[in-house]
Amino acid sequence: MKSQTDWEILKEMREEDIDLSEIPEVTAEQIARASLRVGGKPVSIASTTSGDLPPDPVLNSRTLHPLTLSSLDPNRREDHMNMKVVIAYPGFGDIKIETEILQAAGLEIEHVAATDTDEARRAARQCDALMVTIQPVEADLIRSLERCRLICRVGTGLDAIDVAAATERGIWVTYAPDYSIDEVSTHAIALVLAQARGLPGLLAATRRGIWNSESGGILHRFSDQTLGIIGCGRIGQATAAKGRGLGLNVLAYDPYVNASVMDSLGVRVVDLETVLRQSDYISLHSPLTDETRHLINAETLALMKPTAFLVNAARGPLIDEDALLAAVRAGRIAGAALDVLQVEPVAPDHPFLQEERILLTPHAGWYSEESKIDVRVQGAEEVVRVLRGERPRAPVNEVPSQ
């Protein structure tokens, strides 16, 4: 029997409950790479440790994420052996998922948990891929990267990365565009519903011992109202679909949207002024760009109904916070529900915390246990994909073939 590759061993073990000791002529290096818990099945290496290299103790007894198999390529393994990935975020409690996928592909990992320290800059200088969440990756850092091929945003927003500087250096920038569509759109709708049914006021009154069905303020029939969506990407579309499912009339504004897509959802595409003037609830889903920064300001807030509510589960700087606070306090709009702020975490003395008509949640829209796994798997798999010479699945920019 000819010697098998790591890939073949892993594939066999996923299909059958095979003990490695039953596979003859397997090298110790292959055992080290494949001695994982694959698909929940324990792998024995008791009688297969002959060879020059001992099994890797870091890999032993780990859990291989099912998607990892699609990341491994037996023909490119040697190319990966000296490549380094810097993970420059604190982690989601740990970095086990990323570690499993990257190490299984033969990649070296260095974890620095930031991008703005001397240690992080030294590590990044010699990295082949840099993984970040919300950490800033500015032009000066990018210019210091001597061999980097990829900056991987483990998430969606790209406002902290200088994409132009990366493109100039021939570095791919990628993101995870679809990992939390359901979570963010559901959170936005939850914030809409909280205001539609006066939940903040009802809960506060009940805790004070007030048993009054009208303590949440004046409420109107939900299905008679209009939801306005500003920004019609994946999350905006999902929010619009959920609004339609709840019986709302839905308007949408996005200068780049394909109107036929929104038509298929039963959503009418209109201009920004129409959304602002006619909507009872306005939900923001635009990316943060120079064009959209402070899109909601004193002028645009003045166009909204005095009974309207604003929801933001996208990016904090889409809103001029001073203008919003003034509009709420003056009664020019009914209130707001925000999952994101210009500066996070919220300062203890932030005036929004003292305003009952502004509901805050702590940038939780993205979160579920499933999305927390998905974003890390997608990010790590994108790194493996690019470092083995393939085009990324979700590129933000275009660079010459490498």
Contact 107, 82 (CB under 8 A): no
Q: Which of 65, 332, 357, 363 is catalytic?
A: 363
Is the Cα dihedral 5, 7, 10, 15 positive or negative? Answer: negative
Tokens standing for residue 284: 């923001």
Cβ density class 172-184: b for 16+ within 10 Å, e for less: bbbbbbebbbebb
**Tally of CB atoms within 10 A around 197:** 14
Please state the separation of Cα 61 from the chain's center in Å: 29
Q: Which of 273, 344, 356, 390 is catalytic?
A: 344
Tell me which long-range contacts 70-75 makes (C-beta under 8 A, separation of at least 24): 70/381, 71/101, 71/104, 71/105, 71/380, 71/381, 71/384, 71/385, 72/6, 72/7, 72/10, 72/104, 72/105, 72/384, 73/7, 73/388, 74/5, 74/6, 74/7, 74/8
Contact 154, 366 (CB under 8 A): no
Angle, CA 69 vertex, CA 401 and CA 151 arms, to 5°: 40
Please state the separation of Cα 167 from the chain's center in Å: 22
Asked about 363 being catalytic, the answer comes back as: yes
Q: Which of 315, 357, 376, 388 is catalytic?
A: 315
Let me know if 223 is exposed, middle or buried by CB neighbors in 10 A (0-12, 13-18, 19+).
exposed
Residues marked active site are found at 315, 344, 363
